[in-house]
Structures are given as C-alpha cells and as structure tokens.
Amino acid sequence: MKHLNLFFAAVSVCLFTGCITQKTFVTSSRDSKDKIFDALQSTIAQKNYNILDANKGAGFIRAEKATLSAALRFMSGMENYDQLQVTVFNQNGASGVRVQAMSFQEKTNGYGVRSRETTAPSEEVARDAQELLRQFGGEVSELKQE
C-alpha cells in the first residue's frame, strides 16, 4: 500500500507540475554558422555520441549515445540513451546555437517488440549540452519549459 501511495504521489506531481522531458540551452557567437557547425559536430563525436542526422545547410545535428553497459542491457532488456539535438541559426548578425538535451529508455518485451519512452534528462547529457556551448565563449542560458 505504501508503494502504491508513492506511485500516485509521483504521478500527481508530474500531472500538476509537468514532467520535464528535455532541457534547452542557448548561446550566441560571432563565428560563422559553418565554423560553429563544424566545431559542434567534432566535439559531439569526441564525447562518444553517434551522429544520427546532420545537415550543415539547415544547421541541425541529432546525436545519441547509450548510457548502460552491455551486460546491464542484456540482463534487463532495457537500454538508456542520452540525445542531443543541436540547431545553429543566424540571429541579428551573429550565430545562435540551441542544444536540447534529453534522455530515453528503450524496453524490449519477450516478443522482441521495442518501445521508447522519454525520461527526465540525465545530469550527464545536460552537462554535455552546456559544455558544447561554452566553447564559443558566450553566456550559456537555460530556457525554462512552461
């Protein structure tokens, strides 16, 4: 009964306050959009993220990495991922950069069917997002979700 009460309390908090499923950070730079894009793509790869999508013309990068060890993935049937979505854009004669940090949990049932659920962003992915932006020397701001 005690566990049931804790479950309903957690669900209530999410319903009334809204579960945060991503964190968004922004900064600006005087460097060109192409130079920033190349630097971001390189840094993301150095942080062991797999780049899933990248479009230099659109200024968009989507990358993710698995955060559970192979042994835990095998034993639990679950995989956790951190994902970064990066957008580079022109803003008042400068370049703006937005990084969205999020985490997912992928589960596989006994029949091999996979489902992916969004979870609260891990501390590691939020830290990675901020580090990506700090390399441009501008102020890094977190956009609050409403």
Give residue 4's pLDDT.
41
Of 113 and 35, more confident: 35
3-state helix, strand, coil in the chain (%, to 5): 35, 40, 25
The mean predicted confidence, pLDDT, of the chain is 81
Question: What's the rounded Cα separation, in Å, for the pair 128 and 103?
Answer: 12
Question: What's the rounded Cα separation, in Å, for the pair 118 and 121?
Answer: 9
Sign of CA dihedral 133, 57, 55, 39: negative
DSSP 110: T
Task: Kindly list the structural domains of the chain, giving each domain's residue range(s) and its CATH number in brackets, ordered by start.
Answer: 20-143 (3.30.530.50)
pLDDT at 101 over 80: yes
38 Cβ contact list (under 8 Å, min separation 6) = none
Nearest Cα residue to 103 out of 9, 23, 17, 39 = 23
